[in-house]
Structure 1
């Protein structure tokens, strides 16, 4: 399946302005921007035919070009990365069977997460969108709960049915578990990893819809599909010893740098 991978990146983040240009130091101490690390993660995915950074900001465009990325300049009116991916696809032209949205704040996304999404849509033709979910261990769940108690916007959780069809996504920790879990104990809570694969028809439909109340309340773009009864496939993936986190707040920078150092990522 011919696949376009888009990295949406904007400078005017309300929570963290200039986030794509923030430097992150890996195990060797070399500083690379969040955007460049996300681009390098994209290029490690097998089966991707083209990688494009989609932005509305000249600073991000210039930086992306400096390390060899292809750039699509998109509207500054987009509300989220999915809308920006739709415009990037329109610029790239026809001929792609799938579009992957690798959000520019998740440079630790393992390549097999994305590969699993492509395979999921290949084998489930009735599904329009796919996104990865990762079963949480007790220590990770405790971190999510602590973030919520402290009023921090942490990761997103997902609940889904027996066939993997998404029921809901939330920035709250769902489902309610009722008890604590040991550090490496498996829990019934799934971390939603903010990566998506779409069929082109799904992207075209998405751009024509207004945001619904759940999307607005949660600030989660994928809820627009659920509010319109379009199926989203949750694909369970395995960490395989890799740590994973998104850069949501300035306080996440040392967390990501610590993870990269621990995993030996340059």
Structure 2
């Protein structure tokens, strides 16, 4: 299958304006902007034909071209990364079989997460897939702490037995409370793989009430009856975290240092 990775990035953000250009210090003390670290994570994925940064902002485009990335300029009308991917695929000279959306705020995404998604798309019945990671104690504690402090941290996924999604939420689902033996909580990783046709259909649909309330773009597929395949992945000994709030900079830098990522 021919596959491409898109990295959607926007400058405006209600929670963290200018986030793609925030510097993150690696293990060697060298700082790189978030968008560069996300691009480097995408370039580590095996078997991908090309990687492109998608943005409507000249500051992000200039920074991305400065470290050697291919940039596709999209409109400022795109409300989320999936809509931006639909615009991006229309600009490609040759339509790929699979489009991967590696969100620009997830620089700790291991390459095997994306490789597992692409492998799942070998099933022609799968229209859209996304990775999920069983929360370890540290990640779950971070989720619960953020919600108690009024911050939105990561996203959780609730699935059927066949691995298709029932729901995604920025709340910690299922509810764990103060249980000594809480139920499994699955962390939704901000990465998607789509068929190009699924992207075109998505862009034609209106934003639904659940997507609007949660601020989660993947809910538009569920609201329109398109199954979302959740692909369980593992990151043994590695803490996966996205950059959603300023407090996450320190968390991500700690992982970069621990993992020896320059």
Q: TM-score category by the smaller chain? A: over 0.9
Answer with 250-259 or 226-235: which moved more: 250-259
Q: May I ask how many residue pairs the two structures share in their alignment?
A: 262
Query: CA separation in 2, counterparts of 1:13 and 1:177?
Result: 30
How far 1:181 sits from its partner (Å)? 4.9
For 1:110-189, list aligned pairs within 5 A. Answer: 110-122=110-122, 124-177=123-176, 179-181=178-180, 188-189=184-185
Query: CA separation in 2, counterparts of 1:32 and 1:177?
Result: 37
**SS class of match (1:167):** strand
Residues 1:86 and 2:86 are matched in the alignment? yes
For 1:202-241, list aligned pairs within 5 A. Answer: 202-241=198-237
**SS class of match (2:72):** strand
Gaps of 5+ in 1: none
The alignment yields a C-alpha RMSD, in angstroms, of 1.3
Work out whether residues 138 and 181 of structure 1, in 8 Å CA contact, stay in contact via their aligned partners in 2: no
Query: CA separation in 1, counterparts of 2:66 and 2:214?
Result: 35
Task: Give the equivalent residue in structure 1 for 2:26.
Answer: 26
Gaps of 5+ in 2: none
How far 1:162 sits from its partner (Å)? 1.1
Work out whether residues 138 and 180 of structure 1, in 8 Å CA contact, stay in contact via their aligned partners in 2: no
Residue 260 to residue 13, structure 1, CA distance change in 2 (3 Å): same
Deviations 1:22-73 (A, max 9, x none): 1100110000010000000000000110100000011111111111100000
Residues 1:106 and 2:106 are matched in the alignment? yes
Shift >4 Å, 4+ stretches:
none
Work out whether residues 53 and 69 of structure 1, in 8 Å CA contact, stay in contact via their aligned partners in 2: yes
Task: Give the equivalent residue in structure 1 for 2:75.
Answer: 75
**SS class of match (1:231):** coil
How far 1:178 sits from its partner (Å)? 5.5
How far 1:94 sits from its partner (Å)? 3.3
Task: Give the equivalent residue in structure 2 for 1:254.
Answer: 250
